[in-house]
A and B are shown apart, each in its own frame.
Chain A
């Protein structure tokens, strides 16, 4: 009897793991497309330094903690407790969109955000007369992964909201800075 239970439990655990792996892969593929499509923008009349500075302020306004920033190489990384940069309300709306499809891969899916961090990184590239900015984001689980199988990608709808929200904040900061900062 014990042996049967052990076999069933093993199959269940490995089954769940492969299901979550499949869902994570689907979300990763969708997110890659989203980042390529709406996660890259070009701004003219803006230097790399100005763009990095504006994005640093935008990150702060979105409650993202800056981990590393270098305007010379044009990199910026930050992290926040999930679901930030989304609000809980925004995450709920993303969950409502993604839930039924996610359950096709993981029928017993538990939407649990505790222990997850959002990791964001931004690359700034010099282009003629401006700068190109690209965004990327992933989820990172802080806790023990032996008793919990974490996912490493945002649900695509949440990714879409996060990208649009970050651009909006960046453009707002850039707009205010342009109007208020003293020209050198």
Chain B
């Protein structure tokens, strides 16, 4: 009899207690990205910086255009940020349970495009940076 009362009280407690929980995870995945607006501005000096230095800082270019013996290098880097948050309630009556949980996933993508123009000797002539996202 005591056991039955104990189970009943426990179930009643669960039934009356509506528990809400909130989790938030922010997961940032970087895809080949040491390239930022700041590092580009800091490291690229027109008339001074050479191709080898650019490669050692940012790696190989994603695209290259050659015109009149001059090279233009294009870097296109992507950064995906995923954040998830969830909110839920749990109601339990004896052995009948119901779990109502809603979760939100949001992703944001940021990209940086860097275009570096070199002179015929392979020294930076000019560069342009564009940062975008959605």
Contacts and interface: CB of A to CB of B under 8 A. Distances in A.
B128 to A, nearest CB: 6
Interface stretch (A65-73, A118-126, A138-146, A176-184): A176-184
A4 to B, nearest CB: 30
Given A175-B113, A175-B130, A179-B115, A90 B72 contact: no
B134 A168 contact: yes
A96 interface: yes
Given A100-B102, A180-B65, A172 B130 contact: yes
A89 B130 contact: no
Q: By DSSP majority rule, is chain B's interface helix, strand, loop, or mixed? A: strand
Interface in A156-172: 161, 164-165, 167-168, 171-172
Nearest to A167: B134
B74 A176 contact: yes
Q: By DSSP majority rule, is chain A's interface helix, strand, loop, or mixed? A: helix
B88 to A, nearest CB: 13
Q: What 4 A-B pairs are tightest by C-beta distance, nearest first?
A: A164-B134, A93-B105, A179-B115, A175-B130
Interface of A: 89-90, 92-93, 96-97, 99-100, 161, 164-165, 167-168, 171-172, 175-176, 179-180, 182
Interface of B: 65, 67, 72, 74, 76, 82, 102-107, 109, 111, 113, 115, 117, 128, 130, 132-134
